[in-house]
Amino acid sequence: MTIFSGRFVVPFLATLLLVPPAGAAATARAMPVPISVAEARTALDGLTVGERGTLLGYSHTRFMPEWAPQRGACDTREIVLNRDGQAVRRDASCRVLAGTWYSRYDGKLLTSEANIDVDHLVPLANAWRSGADTWTDAQRHAFANDLIRPELVTVSATANIDKGGSTPITWRPPVIGYWCTYARSWITVKRHYALRITKAEKAALHEMLNTCSA
């Protein structure tokens, strides 16, 4: 059975993964909370709508020469993996040795650090196209290491690769039950950083917000 949602064709199985598996509930609550549905609708209408910018001058290192050091020996990635995981074990250098992670995008429960990534919810390339091309490298580095907004999220490596630099126009989490949170998070980040959206992006976010429960 298949559910049709706009231009998306989503397997019905995805709708069965609305709730994290047992033991992953705390993981799903660990990420910074995005703005409410009502606030997201208002904020979305307030975002600047414009044409998609170019990638001229873009490189990953303009945002991420490295993960930023945070607390003690831990860098941003290690902080996020510890925040989002359960029973995480680290060595003296803060490197993750073991743990369990719930991938919000595709509903997978992962037990190997080799199978997980820390995703930039608003991709760095999209941020560049949306206004970050005018920032300083220091501002871009701060964006890429933001632990306050819901910009960094632990997901399966396969979901992160599948998403790439896509926007909600062409890619959405396979778990439909996460669309509401994903859209609210996207809007939260774009509003905070005054990043513009395209007309098609706005329509896609409105569609995703329509999946939010009353």
Residue 82, in any domain of the structure: yes
Task: Please indicate, yes or no, if residue 100 is contained in any of the structural domains.
Answer: yes
**Structural domain contains residue 152:** yes
Q: Residue 169 CA to chain centroid, in angstroms?
A: 15
The CA distance from 122 to 151, in Å, is: 7
Torsion of CA 209, 107, 81, 179, to 10 degrees: -10
Write down the pLDDT at residue 41: 98
- Report yes or no: 27 and 99 within 8 Å, Cβ to Cβ: no
Q: Is residue 214 part of a domain?
A: no
**188: in domain:** yes
Q: Note the pTM of the prediction, 2 decimals.
A: 0.86
- In terms of residue numbers, what domain contains 98? 2-209
For residue 174, is it within any domain?
yes
Segment-wise mean pLDDT, segments of 10 residues, the chain, 214 residues: 38 36 44 95 98 96 94 92 95 94 97 94 98 97 97 98 97 98 98 98 98 84
Closest CA to 168 of 152, 149, 184, 144: 184
Residue (of 163, 168, 159) closest to 202 by Cα position: 168
Of 171, 143, 140, which is closest to residue 8 (Cα–Cα)?
Answer: 171
165 part of a folded domain: yes
User: CA–CA distance from 135 to each of 120, 141, 143 (Å)?
Assistant: 17, 10, 10
Q: Cβ distance 83 to 102 under 8 Å? A: no
Beta strand residue intervals within 50-94, DSSP E: 85-90
Q: Establish if 50 belongs to a structural domain.
A: yes
Count of the separate structural domains present in the chain: 1
Q: State residue 156's pLDDT score.
A: 98
Helices then strands, counting H and E runs in the chain, come out as 8, 7
pLDDT of amino acid 31: 80
Nearest CA to 79 out of 143, 173, 148 is that of 148
